[in-house]
Chains A and B, each alone.
Chain A
Amino acid sequence: MKKVFYFIICFLALKSHAQNKQVLYNFAGIPQTLLSNPGSDVSYEWYVGIPLLSGISAQAGSNSVSAYDLFAKNNTNFNEKLRNAIFLSSPKDKILVNQQLEVFSAGIKLGDWQSNSYLSFGLYQEFNVLSYIPKDPAILALEGNQNYMGKSFRLNDINFKSDLLSVWHIGYHKKVSNQLLIGGRAKIYSSGFTINSTRNSGYIYTDYDDTTVYNQIISSNLEVQTSNVSQFLEDDYNGKIGIDLAQNTFFKGNLGIGFDLGATYYPKPEWQVTASILDVGFIRHTKDLATYTYKGYYKYEGINPNFIPNDDPDNVIKSFEEAIPRDTLYTKFTTWRSVKWNASAQYSFGKPQSQNCNCTTSENKYQNAIGLQLFAMSMPKNPFLAATAYYQRSLFEALQVKATYTLDTFSKSNIGFGLSANLGALNFYTMVDNVLEYRDVSKANSLSFQLGLNFIIPQKTRYFD
């Protein structure tokens, strides 16, 4: 019980974002933008990401309380702070953690100098947590049911999932005309572990009754699906969790497939629109499975004697356990990835930077760009939505900067900055968002960063390059 509560506290203390890489999206021809839109306007002769350093990103967010609300060093009792945090939260409040690490990535242009087809591939590792605040069960644990006559404590407030996986991917994008680029990416998922409890329902209800003192009902439809987890829960497990997790993630995972699609279109040279859909795919879980269920209905009336001589004594505890049994199933199951959508419209302006460049990609021709981006991600309850306005500027040829303002469920004042710098063939990029929250990170509701290093050989634009 207490452990469960510590778990909830951890969630309350985190604040986060939803894989919305709004600063990185469509930015400066960085190869990693191909992972958020496989049809990005990115060109190269070839590129290699510096192994383990080419793409590092972490995002965490919650839209209820901050670490400060719970752990501020002041005279308020911790239990009081926790109580306030839970009562102020909504069951729609969520906590999201997403971390990605590119193990390796590379790309190459296919065909001769006139060709406009590109291949990109790699392997990255990803860790996700998504949980809604289990508000009703938390109130029940904090306060009990005594002062909540007539209230149904909803069990569908328990809604969480977490997984660790590696993703092998290969993508192809092609400039089909001067106006249009399209691309796609195939993915093989290998899940190191999965915990999934997103389809719960039921309630715990108490009210006054005319016959018995209370009308008490537990209707429970709880289920937690796990794969590659139960081995760690066994009493005789004595392996090294880190090593076993890594092995499961990269070599012995439960496998799945998926794809990304995307496009970039220039209706006019200064206008650009893009769209992408990511992670349309699933994982089939067949190894080390355990699904824990707690399903049934029970109306508790107490121990009620019937005064019939010589009958077998009733046992309410036993009949309760029979009505709502705790079961473990070992059946195979499928989990779907969270699908993400991106779209953007951009207007570029400003004097061309260099008249020498004969590039057909129009982005670098302009010094400035303003645009709007939309992001959506499927979630167990409502989809996560975000809208971003941005300004992008090229400073000389070496440095591109982007500033973003994002509106989403976590924040209405999310300002982000990104920069991408090229030093010869070396490309470095870094991005942060919610910069206003850095005034006091303990009060931040959401923070994220991305950074990476690539080695990029630019595309030859002339035959004799």
Chain B
Amino acid sequence: MWYLKKYKLLKNGWIFLIFLLSAISCSSELDFDQANDLKLTPVFVANLTYFNIPVSAFIENNIDGGVAIDVEDFSPFRDAFFRKNLKKTVLNFEVENSISRAFSVDLLLLNENNIPIDTIRLSVAASNGTTVTVNQTVVFEGERLEALQQMAQVGFIVKMAAGSPLTTDSVGSIQLRSSATIYLEIE
């Protein structure tokens, strides 16, 4: 008899527990498919390029014909993930000139065969004692962005315009500061 009593108790305990849990348990409607809507849209900023050439460099180093030239390897788009998710690139340039001659700064974006795929020209007037600042923004989207992704090198041509000759007493420098803003869309 005690056995039966125990069994009944056990059974009732079970039923009670199951009843309790099912009575109090429920769930709001969930939709896990919405994880497919995941879309990340981060915006990154980074340095692009910087130089500061003092006027003395044009005199002492005898930069030929007032033209300074250099080439740097730069292939930021080698990563397939980066290429796939890149939606837009904006390059910001700021040229400051405190030399009493006008300058043009050309950035030649070259592919791996040294063929230019894009050119950015920045022109700045001669300084009359105060620094001349020029800001320029270049936006790469669509086809221009696709072409940009071939970039492997950047050529710099800093060219001094004609004007009164510079002497060892001349002062000032030409400076370029620039940055890139990169818009990604990852889905």
Interface residues of A (CB under 8 A from B): 1-2, 5-6, 9, 67-68, 71-73, 77-79, 82, 140-147, 206, 211-214, 216, 300-309, 311, 313-318, 395-399, 417, 419, 421-424, 428, 430, 432, 435, 438-443
Contact = CB atoms under 8 A, between A and B. Distances in A.
12 contacts: A2-B187, A71-B31, A71-B32, A73-B31, A144-B42, A144-B182, A211-B177, A213-B50, A300-B46, A303-B72, A316-B72, A423-B10
Contacts of A67: 30
Given A216-B47, A317-B78, A141 B42 contact: yes
A399 B6 CA distance: 8
A142 B35 CA distance: 15
B42 A143 contact: yes
Given A2-B40, A302-B46, 20 more contacts: A2-B186, A5-B40, A67-B30, A71-B31, A78-B34, A211-B177, A213-B48, A213-B50, A213-B177, A216-B46, A302-B48, A315-B72, A317-B78, A395-B9, A396-B5, A398-B6, A399-B10, A430-B17, A439-B24, A442-B30
B28 A144 contact: no
Given A1-B186, A146-B45, A308-B70, A78 B38 contact: yes
Given A213-B179, A399-B9, A79 B46 contact: no
Contacts of B42: 140-144
Nearest to A77: B37
Interface residues of B, number: 65
Given A302-B49, A419-B17, A438 B24 contact: yes
A458 B187 CA distance: 62
Contacts of A9: 35, 38
Main secondary structure of the interface of A (DSSP, over half): mixed
A301 B50 contact: yes
B149 interface: no
Contact of B158 (A79, A307, A398, A439): A307
Given A1-B186, A73-B30, A307-B70, A82 B38 contact: yes
Interface in B22-36: 24-32, 34-35
B141 interface: no
A303 B43 contact: no
Given A1-B186, A79-B39, A317-B78, A306 B17 contact: no
B6 A423 contact: yes
B81 to A, nearest CB: 7
Contacts of A212: 47, 50, 177
A408 to B, nearest CB: 21
Contact of B184 (A6, A78, A144, A317): A144
Interface of B: 3, 5-7, 9-10, 13, 17, 20-21, 24-32, 34-35, 37-40, 42-53, 57, 63, 68-76, 78, 81, 85, 92, 94, 153-154, 156, 158, 177-179, 181-182, 184, 186-187
A440 B9 contact: no
Nearest to B50: A212
Given A1-B40, A307-B158, A442-B30, A315 B73 contact: yes
B121 to A, nearest CB: 16
A213 B47 CA distance: 6
A146 B9 contact: no
A253 B81 CA distance: 36
A307 B46 contact: no
Nearest to B6: A398
Given A2-B186, A301-B47, A399-B10, A442 B27 contact: yes
Nearest to A9: B35
Shortest 10 CB-CB contacts between residues of A and residues of B = A144-B42, A302-B47, A305-B70, A438-B25, A315-B73, A213-B179, A78-B34, A144-B43, A398-B6, A146-B43
Contact of A306 (B6, B35, B70, B178): B70
A145 B47 CA distance: 12
A419 B13 CA distance: 8
Nearest to A437: B25
B74 A317 contact: yes
Given A79-B38, A398-B10, A423-B6, A214 B45 contact: yes
A423 B27 CA distance: 34
Contacts of A443: 28
B21 A304 contact: no
Contacts of B63: 307
B74 A315 contact: yes
A142 B72 contact: no
